[in-house]
Structure 1
Amino acid sequence: MAFPTVVSADAAAALIPDGAIVTVSSSSGLGCPDAVLAAIGRRFDAEGHPRNLTTLHPIAAGDMWGIKGVDHIAKPGLLARILGGSYPSGPSSAEPPAIWKMVTGNQIPAYNVPTGILFDMHREAAAKRPGVLTKVGMDTFVDPAREGCAMNAKAAEEAIVKRVTFDGEDWLYFKAIVPDVAIIRATTADERGNLSYEHEGGYLGPLDQALAVRNNGGIVIAQVKRLAKSGTLKPHNVMVPGVLVDAIVVAPDQMQTTQTQYDAAISGEVFRTLSSFELPEFNPAKVIARRVAQELRYGNAVNIGFGISANVPRVLIEEGRHGDVTWVIEQGAVGGVPLLDFQFGCASNAEAIVPSPYQFTYFQGGGFDVSLLSFLQIDANGSVNVSKLGVRPHVTAGAGGFVDITARAKRIVFSGYFTAAAGLAIEEKELKIAREGKIMKLVKEVEHVSFSGQRAVAQGQDITYITERCVLRLTPKGIEVTEIAPGVDLERDILAQAEFPLIVSDNLKVMDANLFDPAPIGLDIGGGRA
């Protein structure tokens, strides 16, 4: 191979042949090679090429807030098939992204594949092994006994996963998909194509994606912010070596992540003071986050997801307990303070940032202590839906790494409101329900099984569900109410608001009244502090 060349985004787009399998490194806006994706869309509009692409997105490409990502190429004729860990999402009131219109319109086969499994598929393709054997996703929408990752009818016709027996055990088998083109991103490329990530909020998976393409004779395109002279990058800072790169596209205005041009604290170049982090306002969501925090123990390694639980790190800051646990998130940050909203997936003050594929190996094997996640629905078996809801699925984005994380987690704490859109208030350390929610979230059967309660019971996983009005635990006999909020009526506000019978604990307790007061609660998770 020759040394990589610097080309325009349009010239890079011209390198992609019709019918190619293209893997794209991105996590929503984080690390998204948006300039190259935009150029592919422009070329198709002008020339009708490239046509019939299959694209792989281990986490997600783009968002609805300024970084279009996959929407640049979500065009009939250009895109023929897509496999994604998740997809661009947005509020229910917004116009769905173009990719969602293609998915829900059944225009192309579309699959929601757990992020860790997609990374595993790249690793297997790079080593020229046949595919991935895994138990991740069994008895969920990933399992061919359910949807087999299919998001629409066209995908259901083209299975990508099957159940097999190996060494006397049942496994899910994903055949490796060999990509022809990788589109990745970095901060800096030197003259020999070595890539460093000093301004990035995470590495994500570009090395694995580039290896899968290079080892199979394909083309690796790297979008970067700037160029550097050969020999000026420190070898320890190079994540992707130049021997894996074919073309370099310079996009000096590339955004660091969604709604963020550049923040040195996101890339770990500076550390923020704890006082600079905004604390959550006092409301029912904060009550839930505080009760979730009470589930933690000093020294825990804690995975954290989007939603109410994302505020738990700030609860610990307010309580003077920052640093007592170590946060680990799927984009690769270890430690520090996970960020919120448009910067979700990044962390400030991280202790380490590891490549996402390795983080998912950690998650899939259950090496961490507890995971804090959200729920959209819970059913009678304890199963949870986070990945599909009603007629506007683009609001949920898909499961991302949720299935990988929950497959073998020792403990999981799910959090959310007991019903949707209830009128809630807090008065004198009591919860007041002025108006019950319009939609029940504890349902007989979830719309989409993102987490299998039956499998959790069989594996002995410790599962808790925390809401504003009660705490629930999963038992072999069903879901048990163990705590209720002060001011809440057990029969009217809890048992009557579930579509299935709940078990009431013989030792039913009232939730700590301090949770319902604006003052700090004196959080005690051990570790010798008062």
Structure 2
Amino acid sequence: MSKKIHADATSALSGLLRDGLLIAAGGFGLCGIPELLIAAIRDSGVKDLTVASNNAGVDGFGLGVLLETRQVRKMISSYVGENAEFMRQYLSGELELEFNPQGTLAERMRAGGAGIPGFYTKTGVGTVIAEGKEHHDFDGETYILERGIVADLAIVKAWKADPSGNLVFRKTARNFNVPAATCGKVCVAEVEEIVPLGALDPDTIHLPGIYVHRIVQGPHEKRIEQRTTRKKEAV
């Protein structure tokens, strides 16, 4: 089980990267993003990537660094704000974008991880989201078919792990990390702390180690996406 632990992000991704990969990435904005693994993917030089992620980080950080180096061919996302380069590439036709409602994207990942090839949802009916998709009526209501996502590689960020790969996430940093992890054929997790086997209460484990193939521990910047402050009031 200790063979899952790697010394750094580069070794954790060794043998897994190639051009044209479909990657599922955890995170929401800059919260809970696998920043070390993203940097290692950038440094590897692989290209023509398709990345399924709620968004693409910000300019110069998170998945935004892969857009700057033109390593991403297509994004499967629900939000393109906060990243000027993302918007520029999309509007100029340099980047393919498959828009997904946020809940639909989460369920597509979850379904793929559960072995469910597709599901019907009312979300998006009557909009451009529904164009080209199968429609079906259930009890007088129209639904569209969405396909589950099965990624070649999943990259996620967790708070704690044990040597067997059991993961615990920190509050809202759990976000898309669990469904992203489960839908990957191979899942690599970066964590803040690795604890001894048996140190985690089984009731607190958010993702069982059977889904996690490799682990790397390292320092994280955990940048704040939008810092909002107010002036100190005079006493």
Q: Output the TM-score relative to the length of structure 2.
A: 0.84
Which position in structure 2 is the counterpart of 1:28? Answer: 29
- Corresponding residue for 1:8? 8
Structure 1 distance, partners of 2:13, 2:97, is: 23
Alignment of 1:392-403 (within 5 A): none
Choose the corresponding residue for 1:82, options 75, 80, 96.
75
Aligned partners of 2:119 and 2:146 also within 8 Å: yes
Q: Does residue 1:173 correspond to 2:145, yes or no? A: yes
Match of residue 182 from structure 1: 154
Q: Does residue 233 in structure 1 map to residue 228 in structure 2?
A: no
Q: Partner letter of residue 123 of structure 1? A: R
Kept after mapping to 1: 8 A contact 2:13/2:188: no
* CA displacement at 1:183 relative to structure 2: 0.6
Q: Which of residues 108, 116, 122 in structure 2 aligns to 1:129? A: 116
Provide the secondary structure at the position in 2 that maps to 1:162.
coil
- 2-structure distance, mates of 1:208, 1:41: 23
Q: Secondary structure at the match of 1:182?
A: strand
Between the two proteins, the alignment pairs up a number of residues equal to: 226
Equivalence map 1:345-494=2 (5 Å): none
State the partner residue of 1:109: 96
The alpha-carbon deviation at position 179 of structure 1 amounts to: 0.9
Identify unmatched segments of 5+ residues in structure 1: 45-49, 91-95, 145-160, 260-340, 344-530
How far does the alpha carbon of each residue in 1:433-487 deviate from its partner, in whole angstroms, 9 at most, with x for none? xxxxxxxxxxxxxxxxxxxxxxxxxxxxxxxxxxxxxxxxxxxxxxxxxxxxxxx
Structure 2 contact 193–217 (Cα < 8 Å) conserved: yes
Give secondary structure in 2 for the equivalent of 1:111. Answer: strand
Supply the AA of the counterpart residue of 1:130.
Answer: P
Larger Rg: 1
1:247 corresponds to 2:190: no
- In structure 2, distance between residues paired with 1:23 and 1:178: 8
Q: Give the one of 152, 177, 180 matched to 1:209.
A: 180
Contact kept, 8 Å, 2:24 with 2:183, in 1: the verdict is no
Equivalence for 1:52: 48
- 2:52 aligned counterpart, secondary structure: strand
**Counterpart code for 1:203:** R
Shift of 1:136: 0.8
SS of 1:171's partner is strand
**RMSD between superposed Cα atoms in Å:** 2.5
Provide, for residues 4-42 of structure 1, a one-character-per-residue CA deviation record: whole Å limited to 9, x for no partner: 222411223442232221001111111011111111111
Contact 1:206 1:240 in 2 (8 A): no
**Could you tell me how far 1:169 is from its partner in structure 2?**
4.4
Identity of aligned residues (%): 23
Q: How many Å separate the matches in 2 of 1:5 and 1:109?
A: 35
Please tell me whether the aligned partners of residues 193 and 243 of structure 1 are also in contact (alpha carbons under 8 angstroms).
Answer: yes
Is 1:68 the equivalent of 2:61?
yes
Contact in 2 for aligned 1:194/1:240 (Cα 8 Å): yes
- Tell me the distance in 1 between the aligned counterparts of 2:29 and 2:125: 26
Structure 1 distance, partners of 2:147, 2:172, is 31
Paired amino acid for 1:239:
H
Paired residues of 1:3 and 1:243 also in contact (CA < 8 A): no
Which TM-score applies when normalising by structure 1? 0.40
